[in-house]
Structures are given as C-alpha cells and as structure tokens.
C-alpha cells in the first residue's frame, strides 16, 4: 500500500465547502483486509480503452465519501481479488457510480462479479437536470458542488506498471465527490417525484451492462 496525501480538498455535503485534505492509498491486486466503506461505496474504473472485450481493467477506485480514496491496481491477467469481489457482491452495500453502465460491465468482464445494488449519478442527472445536456462528472462537480476537477490524465496510460502521483490524484477525484452528488440528487429526485423511477433505472443497470457484454451495446431490444 502506498499512501499519498493529495493537495485536492474534498467537498463537505453538510456545509457545501471543501475543507479536508485528501488521502490516497494504492493497493496492488486487491484491497487490504479490514477496510470498511460503510453502507455506500463510491466506485470508478480505469481501463485501457472503452471496449470491455478488448481493453483490460487496470484500476478500481473506491471511497466512503470521507476524503479517503483507495486505488486497486491490477497487473495484466491478475484479477484474483477476493476482498474486492466480496465487496462488489455484498447486497448490503450500495455501489455508487457515475456512468455505472460502463463500470459494471468492466468489473463483470474481468472480475466475474455483477456489482449490485447500484446508484448512478449520471442517470440521476438525466432524470433531474433536464434543462441541460451537460451530465459529465466534471460538469456536475463544478455546477452542483463548486469543485473543479482536472481531466488532464483522463487519456494517460493506465496500464503502466507504476502510476504517477498525478494519475493517482486524477483517479481518486472520480470517486471523492460522488457521495455529495448523491445527496443533492436524492433531494432533486424527491422534489421532482422521480425517486421510484430512478430506483427502477438503477435496478436495471446491471442487466443493461450484461446486454452490452452479450452483444447488444447499441440496439434497443425494446424497439418495435
């Protein structure tokens, strides 16, 4: 495990201020024993590309929303991660994603586990922020939390054997703010009477990801 004290500061959902330093811990191959993410864990992935059949999973980022990020780095073909797999399969823990459809597919393709239950901030944004077409994580953090995320490392080589501190900070930023966004979206979904609709969409997301992997990434099987 390699801890890094990041310069980025997290958003406090209670005060809407960024006031706590970020701690990043890098793990090789699996989570360390004894880490407790509580009842809701924010998760993101970094892969070599956007094709889950071709592009391997390189990194899984996780956070309990407490200003700490845990990064699990995988060597090529080495996906025996029992503690991470157990967390993904734990039905008592909500897995919080932004664009869950891709991450669920990547995790299932390489780790063999369907992450559930899930919550997706991108789906929540599309159901509530109908006044805009900007639903990316960078847009949400800036407009809803006042947090500016750097996307400079988005297209860097995530398959490198050693990740730079800049890559690690970028990867961590994708999970550190999801709990604060979820709190805001829960309020907005309730306000617009779309909480149950969102919940139904979240329940379907693992199936949508499995359809992607099975060969229906674009075709709408519900169409005439």
In a domain, 200, yes or no: yes
Neighbours of 136 (CB within 10 A): 15
In a domain, 221, yes or no: no
> Of how many residues is the chain composed?
224
Provide the mean pLDDT of the chain. 92
- Bridge partners (DSSP) listed for residue 45: 60
Q: Count the domains in the chain.
A: 1
pTM comes to 0.90
Residue 6 has pLDDT above 60, yes or no: no
**What are the tens digits of pLDDT across the range 22-57?**
999 999 999 999 999 999 999 999 999 999 999 999
In a domain, 222, yes or no: no
Provide the pLDDT confidence category of residue 111 given band limits of 50, 70 and 90: very high
CA atoms within 13 A on the CB side of 44: 24
**What are the tens digits of pLDDT across the range 158-215?**
999 999 999 999 999 999 999 999 999 999 999 999 999 999 999 999 999 999 999 9
In a domain, 66, yes or no: yes
In a domain, 21, yes or no: yes
In a domain, 219, yes or no: no
In a domain, 98, yes or no: yes
Domain residue limits at 157: 2-214
| CATH number where 140 lies | 3.30.420.10
């Amino acid at each position: 495990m390699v801890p890094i004290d990041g310069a980025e500061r997290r958003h406090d959902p209670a005060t809407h201020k960024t006031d706590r330093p970020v701690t990043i811990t890098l793990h090789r191959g699996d989570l360390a024993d004894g880490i407790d993410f509580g009842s809701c864990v924010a998760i993101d992935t970094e892969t070599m590309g956007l094709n889950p059949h071709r592009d391997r999973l390189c990194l899984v980022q996780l956070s309990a929303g407490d200003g700490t990020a845990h990064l699990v780095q995988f060597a090529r073909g080495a996906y025996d991660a029992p503690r991470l797999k157990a967390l993904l399969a734990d039905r008592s823990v909500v897995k919080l994603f932004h664009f869950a459809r891709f991450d669920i597919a990547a995790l299932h393709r390489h780790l063999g586990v369907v992450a559930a239950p899930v919550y997706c901030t991108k789906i929540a944004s599309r159901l509530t922020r109908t006044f805009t077409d900007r639903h990316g994580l960078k847009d949400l953090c800036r407009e809803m939390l006042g947090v500016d995320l750097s996307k400079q490392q988005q297209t860097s080589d995530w398959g490198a054997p050693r990740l730079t501190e800049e890559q690690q900070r970028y990867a961590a930023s994708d999970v550190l703010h999801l709990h604060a966004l979820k709190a805001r979206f829960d309020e907005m979904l309730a306000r617009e009477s779309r909480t149950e609709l969102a919940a139904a969409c979240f329940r379907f997301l693992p199936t949508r990801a499995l359809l992607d992997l099975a060969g229906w990434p674009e075709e709408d099987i519900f169409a005439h």
